[in-house]
Each structure stands twice: as C-alpha cells, then as structure tokens.
Structure 1
Amino acid sequence: MEAHATEVCCQPVTASLLAEDEAEELAGLLKVLADPARLRLLSLVATAEAGEACACDLVEPLGRSQPTVSHHLSLLVEAGLLSREKRGRWAWYRVVPERLSTIQDALAPGAAFSSSPRP
C-alpha cells in the first residue's frame, strides 16, 4: 500500500483559539447568561426606554417575585453585564455594552455574525 500525504482542505482553525484563561472567563459569563430569567432581564434592560430600567419595573414583566428578580439582577451586575445605580430606595440598571462585546470578540474576533453560509 502506498503512503499518501495528508490532504488539507483549508487553513487550520487554531489561529484564533481562545487561551485557557479567556475560555474560563467566557464560560463563567455564559453560565450567568444560561438562565432564561437572566436573559429576559438583560433583554428588558437593553430595550428599555432611555436605556435603563428600574428594578421595580422588572418584576411584573418577568413574572417572578421581587427577591428573585433582585437575585438575578445581582448576578448580572457581578458578571459585569449590567451596571447598577441606587436612586433613593430604587436601583436602576443599564447594560454594559463593552461586556457584551467581550462575548462576540471572544467567539469571533473581528468578525460580524451572519446567518448566511460561507461560499
């Protein structure tokens, strides 16, 4: 039997491999986002008028108790996905766009996501 050279169909995909520490940080961030309630909260805050939302306005749309909503918001703040500002007795939340960009940059550095297949 004749030995054949291994054919390579395209460039190796390891050029933009995540470093282990980056992968661990990203996994922690994605773990926070893996909860449907937290995803919904992030979406509610991101689409809120004026770009911010009061915690008091997030309970009803989420359909969860105030302590549960506060717990989820705290986890999103700890992950750096939301910022929190106390005004009187209420907390107001804003999305931290740079942190969301971290996810995209880690998964596809310099690329824009597209649903169309590559040629």
Structure 2
Amino acid sequence: MAGDGGEACVCDLVEPVGLSQPTVSHHLKLLTSAGLVTRAQRGQWAWYAAVPERLREIRELLR
C-alpha cells in the first residue's frame, strides 16, 4: 500500500507495471542513482518517492 507523501514500496509497483520484483527493484535503484527518486529504508521495506524538483527540470527540458 502506498504511503503518505506519494511514497511507494516495490511491492506497490510490481502489479501496476507488470514486472517482477527484482526488475522493479533494479529500475528503482537506477532511478535513485540518477537522483529522480529518493529511497528511505523502514524496517525490511524500502520506500521510494519522486523528487519533484528533478521532475520539474525534466518537464522544462521536454518543452
């Protein structure tokens, strides 16, 4: 289940994107490395959230 502030764990994303958990985790790692999402470890789960400033920058580049 998605958390407050637009956060989601890998388990929330597997079904909607139609990919396996390891594949989703791999892509989230790449997005985190690129600075497009943040990662917060809470117990055994990692929660991810988009970085709004980076999304705005990308939107401006695409205009």
Taking structure 2 as the reference length, what is the TM-score of the superposition?
0.80
The structure where strand makes up a greater share of residues is: 2
After the TM superposition, which parts of structure 1 deviate over 2 Å for at least 4 consecutive aligned residues?
A: 104-108
User: CA-to-partner distance for each residue in 1:61-87, whole Å, 9 max, x for gaps?
Assistant: 222111101011111111111100011
1:86 to 10, 21, 41: 41
Residue 64 of structure 1 corresponds to: 19
RMSD: 1.7
Gaps of 5+ in 2: none
Contact 1:59 1:65 in 2 (8 A): yes
TM-score normalized with structure 1 length: 0.46
CA–CA distance in structure 1, aligned partners of residues 22 and 62 of structure 2: 33
Instruction: Pick the structure with greater CA Rg.
Output: 1
Q: Percent identity?
A: 66
Shift of 1:55: 1.3
The superposition leaves residues 7-37 of structure 1 with CA deviations (integer Å, 9 ceiling, x where unpaired) of xxxxxxxxxxxxxxxxxxxxxxxxxxxxxxx
Q: Kindly tell me the number of residue pairs found equivalent between the two proteins.
A: 61
